[in-house]
Amino acid sequence: MSSEYVIVGAGSAGCAMAYRLAEAGRSVTVIEHGGTDAGPFIQMPGALSYPMNMNRYDWGFQTEPEPHLGGRVLATPRGKVIGGSSSINGMVYVRGHARDFDHWAEQGANGWSYADVLPYFRRMESWHGETGDAAFRGNDGPLHITRGPRSNPLFNAFIEAGAQAGYPVTPDYNGQQQEGFGAMEATIWKGQRWSAANAYLKPALKTGRVKVERGFARRVVIENGRATGVEIEQRGQIVTISAAREVVLAASSINTPKLLLLSGIGAASHLGSLGIPVVADRPGVGANLQDHLELYLQFASRLPITLYKYWNLWGKAMVGAQWLLTRKGLGASNQFEACAFIRSKSGVDYPDIQYHFLPIAVRYDGKAAAEGHGFQTHVGPMRSVSRGAVTLRSADPAAAPRIQFNYMSHDSDWDDFRRCIRLTREIIGQDAFKPYYKSEIQPGLALQSDDELNGFIKEHVESAYHPCGTARMGRRDDPTAVIDPECRVIGVEGLRVADSSIFPRVTNGNLNGPSIMVGEKAADHLLGRTPLAPSNQEPWINPNWRVSQR
């Protein structure tokens, strides 16, 4: 079994690469441990709380007890299914802020500044927004981007409240101006989840140049310093899938570093302690682990207009039946239809807080709906300085890796979250919410002091499921970098990484968009093409950022 390219992981970046390589006439084998993405739990946007909590679709990773959160163990879902995490995520589409990518370039990722990546964001998308700047958006790419109908009045109340509190309103946070309140965008098309599998992999398979091998990747086969294939377990047998040209790891920011380590690429001391022969001493493998944390701030509604009226067996059955028959109705939306990106204080030059607004008070895992009608904001800081690591528990490929984020390990993390709570209370207190606001469910207005808020944060902060950074891109002479700006693993020939592992720093917002962009751009590097010409579009930065928070 041999192809020119072998890609490990049929996720956001892997699917995009397979599509572009096939388009260029190359043969590709994609290795995926998970099974089919068929069925309403994945394809119906309104069912998003189900797949990430199903063993069938999720790797089921968990953190080690987090020392700064009182030993709490947090879930770290990653997609184990065709489409990877793009098949189990919340479908929210955020590119990231222009400054995020400029920071990547400053950290040694030459050719990955905003000017460099904007053409790839444009190439990959078909944008269906009603307002915004077409110069920043694409209209003929495989990835369809839409906005929800915002028919529930709470969505517009949230945007209006932001304006009343003195924040900008942005027509398109993925265009020139991220900062402000506005409509949220989603990878949903014609009422269906528009995952990387639907956008990229299925069309690629139809070319006949891409095939998917279902199997559990154990390690990269490296001969005389060059990657020649991938060893997988398939139906109880251990077989090698050979790559005539190159191997690409696109297995997630958790499984990619795990595979690198199992293949002898990583910190020599860590590998030596497990008896794994060292192929390349790269201490950055598994290090630099980052994520976004968020709080669910919940409020009781005065009017019975929230989604709570469907939060029962009969209501869910009706929504599901309407979706199955028509691909319309509440099931056709992820219900994240309004959002905001704001700055936490003056002196911060671009947004460092993100809001998702939801017209029901419920947990991400679909469990505890607050009793009765309510609404909530998911809010969290974007640029925590806390860093963790993914390491091996043992040299056995079947063992789950050890994941330690070191969440909330800096005083600034606690200060950032207290600001998030206080700024949210001010926004929800605006006149736009007067007809709807009844009371604060959580944290509850009894909690006001720093110590009281810290206690709430420690108990209730949750991952937004945006892990990244564990195979950082940088200069070839940077000892902490794992890959160079062409996505080549430093110290090994014929091996690249292309997924959220390569992010030098986490981007603003959700990671599916930038992960797909990485796959798109990496494909050009694999093909030896000159990258797309840099853009000269200038992003908007608040002119008063030095002196004003809004």
Report CA torsion sign: 487, 488, 494, 498: negative
Is residue 270 within 8 Å of 250, Cβ to Cβ? Answer: no
Half-sphere exposure of 72 (CA within 13 A, CB side): 17
Report CA torsion sign: 488, 491, 494, 496: negative
**Measuring CA to CA, how many Å separate 43 from each of 187, 292, 459?**
11, 25, 33
Helix, strand or coil, per DSSP, at residue 410: coil
**Measuring CA to CA, how many Å separate 501 from each of 33, 121, 267, 384?**
19, 19, 16, 17
**Measuring CA to CA, how many Å separate 340 from each of 157, 160, 185, 377, 430?**
13, 11, 12, 10, 15
Annotated binding site for FAD: 81, 89-92
> Residue 157 and residue 151: Cα distance in Å, rounded?
11
> Residue 285 and residue 469: Cα distance in Å, rounded?
9
Point out the catalytic residue in the list 144, 378, 466, 525.
466
Annotated binding site: 81, 89-92
CA nearest 125: which of 178, 181, 78, 172? 172
Helix, strand or coil, per DSSP, at residue 280: strand
CA nearest 487: which of 508, 506, 473? 473
> Residue 535 and residue 133: Cα distance in Å, rounded?
14
Residue 502 has what DSSP assignment?
G
> Residue 509 and residue 313: Cα distance in Å, rounded?
33
Q: Which two tokens stand for residue 426?
A: 């001010």
| Residue at token pair 């063993």 | 55
Query: DSSP characters for 31-89?
Result: EESSB---SHHHH-GGGTTTGGG-TTTB--EEPPPBGGGTTB--EE--B-BTTGGGGTS
* Whether 378 is catalytic: no
Question: Which residues are the active-site residues?
Answer: 466
